[in-house]
Amino acid sequence: MGLGYLPPEHENRDNKYPNLYPHHAPTSLADCIIKLKSLDVIPGGYKDPRYLWDKHDEEMYPRIKKIPQKQYGWPYDFREAEWKADAKDTFKRICLQFDPDYRASIM
């Protein structure tokens, strides 16, 4: 989400924070907010609470993205109270349907 990693030739290149080059904080935060509002990234992985669903998850991401848009009016007529009431069960239903590992993680 707007994070820039050191170039590939860097000897310790991985996804660790020390390998990030500095960014202008307000610009980086604005970029993250835009991606969240547009649902380019969706927070809430079940294996790691810091996980972000995105286009690289070709099976789950499209299904998860459609739910707030079609069922809850995202972004222009978002029905937050309905979303909060249904979100946990909706997410569990999708995960049970499409991820066999999820069933084992909740039992």
How does pLDDT run across 2-11, given as a tens digit for each residue? 455 445 555 5
The answer to whether residue 42 sits within a structural domain is: no
How far apart CA 48 and CA 54 sit, in angstroms, is: 14
Number of domains in the chain: 2
30: in domain: yes
User: Is the same domain home to 32 and 57?
Assistant: no
Which structural domain range is residue 82 located in? 53-106
Q: Residue 83: inside a domain, yes or no?
A: yes
Q: Average of pLDDT values for 25-44?
A: 91
| Residue 99 located in a structural domain | yes
Contact 51, 45 (CB under 8 A): yes
- Assess contact for 39 and 69: CB atoms under 8 A: yes
Residue 76 has pLDDT above 50, yes or no: yes
Q: In terms of pTM, does the model score above 0.75? A: no
Query: What is the C-alpha separation between 73 and 58, in angstroms, rounded?
Result: 23
> Does residue 80 surpass a pLDDT of 80?
yes
- In-domain check, residue 45: no
In a domain, 20, yes or no: yes
Question: Is residue 3 assigned to a domain?
Answer: yes
